[in-house]
Amino acid sequence: MTNLDVCFLPAHRMLEMISKGEISAVELLDCHLDQITKINGKINAIVTLDEDRARSTARSIDQRISQKSPMRILEALPVAHKDLTVTKDMRTTFGSPIFENFVPDRNALIVDRLQDSGAVTIGKTNTPEFGAGSQTFNTVFGTTRNPYDLDKTCGGSSGGAAAALAAGLIPIADGSDHGGSLRNPASFCNVVGLRPSTGRVPTWPNASAWYPLSVLGPMARTVADISLMLSAIAGPDLRCPLSIMESPNIFQQGLIRDFKGVRIAWSRTLGGIPVDDEVLGVIEGAVRGLEDLGCIVEEVDPDLEEADEVFHVLRAWHMEST
């Protein structure tokens, strides 16, 4: 198996290789660093890279494994954090020249949870300034490009994360979503981005703890890896009043289940939003797949005509207040 082959394995397969001794944490890291060296200059997905820190962490993991310590949920998986997410002792710019040289003295809660679960922080992924936009560019680092076509956008605002996943630079990534920032770039880059329910992944530090629209969430190349990552980053935190109190262990129970009778609503246009015919064809195929699983699928047409205007007002208020 080549380094490139390893980089495009599902994260859960990488974990299996680590647990069986088929690859070390340092070797897994080196595979991804090699891919970053070859590809990142073309797509500009990872904008801050700390190889020395990552190697030190990977060596510590190999030592843990040699001592027969229990495997953690994300043991040895390389991860890069969105550049909106404060990361201790690592440059975090928020995509803005105002914070171009800002180095936090603490981690965000999601970073702590990823690292405590064994993930290896390698750097930061690009974002538009303060995450405001469905494209990924800023005056600090420039534009992130779509790995499938360098002339096309990767989407945003978690575009650096989506592009890095699609190019095999990392197997998992964190992102955030206010109005599509996990889902939009995932769809553009053919990966998976899940916007969880408010409070599923607590946000701390958080300047507006009661604001429900902006959430953190997982990104990966497969749904199974999304579930794996959620089992590490979900769960309540006393500093976050909107936390869902349910244990994150539910995401370790597997995805295979009986879907017979599950009710699902779907819409062709969400009340009149333009949808490309090719995209609609994919959605219709998914509908048929859900019906084959025994789901009760009903077409609906919600009135979301003013949703975009409402979102822009709420986002402006949120940014002004923070």
Would you name the residues annotated as active-site residues?
A: 82, 157, 181
| Residues 32, 164 contacting (CB under 8 angstroms) | no
| Residues 43, 100 contacting (CB under 8 angstroms) | no
Task: Please identify which residue in the block is written with the tokens 């105002």.
Answer: 98
Tell me the C-alpha distance between 247 and 236, whole Å.
8
Tell me the C-alpha distance between 245 and 238, whole Å.
10
Tell me the C-alpha distance between 170 and 8, whole Å.
9
Residues 6 or more apart whose CB falls under 8 angstroms from that of 235 comprise 113, 202, 243, 246, 247, 248
| Residues 35, 7 contacting (CB under 8 angstroms) | yes
Q: Which amino acid is at 127?
A: T
Give the other-Cβ count within 10 Å of 260's Cβ: 9
Tell me how long the chain is: 322
Tell me the C-alpha distance between 180 and 15, whole Å.
29
Tell me the C-alpha distance between 322 and 193, whole Å.
25
Token pair, residue 175, equals 């992102």
Residue from 140, 96, 89 nearest 115 by CA: 89
C-alpha 199: how far from its chain's center?
16
Pairing of strands 78-82, 46-49: unpaired
H or E stretch covering 279: helix 277-292
